[in-house]
């Protein structure tokens, strides 16, 4: 009885770029090595394809964050485009915080969340729905928020700036051509 050993050729791709294998390193270690050249790989997920015909393909899928992809009274105008562009394997959706701050009816928030979850799932992504609890705010905060912001005066801004900005500790760095600054 003999055992045949067939080497497996590994391929690594990121955003359509074929990256050479680094023998002796695990797929995560390969990702970490290439993150020096492609910093966005630091948080990338490693997706392993099946072993077939002596070959296994690994794909580095970068984590993409965006705020307010569903931000509108029409649910998720940007979400479908972002899902198509980035093809995420996972999507995190926060429970309607922007809707609440804008004072939208709960029914709209429910419809928006349902549409976003279903749209993300149809794209093949796993969805994590999370909630954010804000404490210490008055019960009428969502209603009075804009009024409070509009009440801030230039004098308020100057008073706070004098307290927190110390001119002797400010440093300016100019990158590029300083002409016109």
> Domain coordinates of the chain in residue numbers?
9-61, 79-130
Map tokens 């630091």 to a residue. 42
The residues with which 127 forms a beta bridge, in sequence order, are: 91
- Three-class secondary structure of residue 127 per DSSP: strand
As given in the structure block, the two tokens for residue 90 are 């996972």
Edge to edge, what strands does the sheet with 45-52 contain?
17-19, 9-14, 55-61, 45-52
Length of the chain: 181
pLDDT of residue 77: 63
Distance of CA 24 to the CA centre of its chain: 31
Q: What is the DSSP letter of 129?
A: E
pTM of the model: 0.45
pLDDT of residue 162: 77
pLDDT of residue 145: 73
* pLDDT < 50: residue spans in the chain: none
Q: What is the DSSP letter of 45?
A: E
pLDDT of residue 66: 60
Q: Are strands 90-94 and 55-61 parallel, antiparallel or unpaired?
A: unpaired
pLDDT of residue 59: 92
pLDDT of residue 176: 59
pLDDT of residue 4: 79
Q: Residues with Cβ < 8 Å from 157, sequence gap 6 or more? A: none
């Amino acid at each position: 009885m003999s055992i045949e050993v067939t080497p497996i050729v590994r391929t690594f791709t990121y955003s359509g770029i074929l990256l050479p294998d680094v023998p002796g390193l695990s797929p995560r270690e390969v990702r970490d090595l290439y993150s020096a050249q492609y910093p966005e790989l630091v948080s990338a997920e490693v997706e392993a394809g099946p072993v077939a015909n002596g070959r296994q393909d690994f794909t580095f899928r970068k984590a993409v964050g965006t705020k307010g992809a569903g931000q509108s009274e029409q649910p998720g105008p940007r979400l479908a485009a972002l899902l198509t562009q980035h093809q995420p394997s996972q999507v995190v959706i926060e429970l309607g915080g922007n809707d609440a701050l804008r004072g939208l009816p709960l029914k709209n928030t429910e419809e928006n969340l349902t549409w976003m979850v279903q749209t993300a799932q149809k794209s093949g992504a796993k969805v994590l729905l999370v909630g954010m609890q804000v404490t210490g705010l008055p019960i009428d905060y969502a209603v009075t928020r804009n009024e409070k912001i509009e009440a801030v005066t230039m004098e308020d801004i100057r008073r706070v700036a004098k307290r927190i900005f110390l001119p002797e500790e400010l440093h300016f760095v100019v990158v590029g051509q300083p002409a016109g600054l």
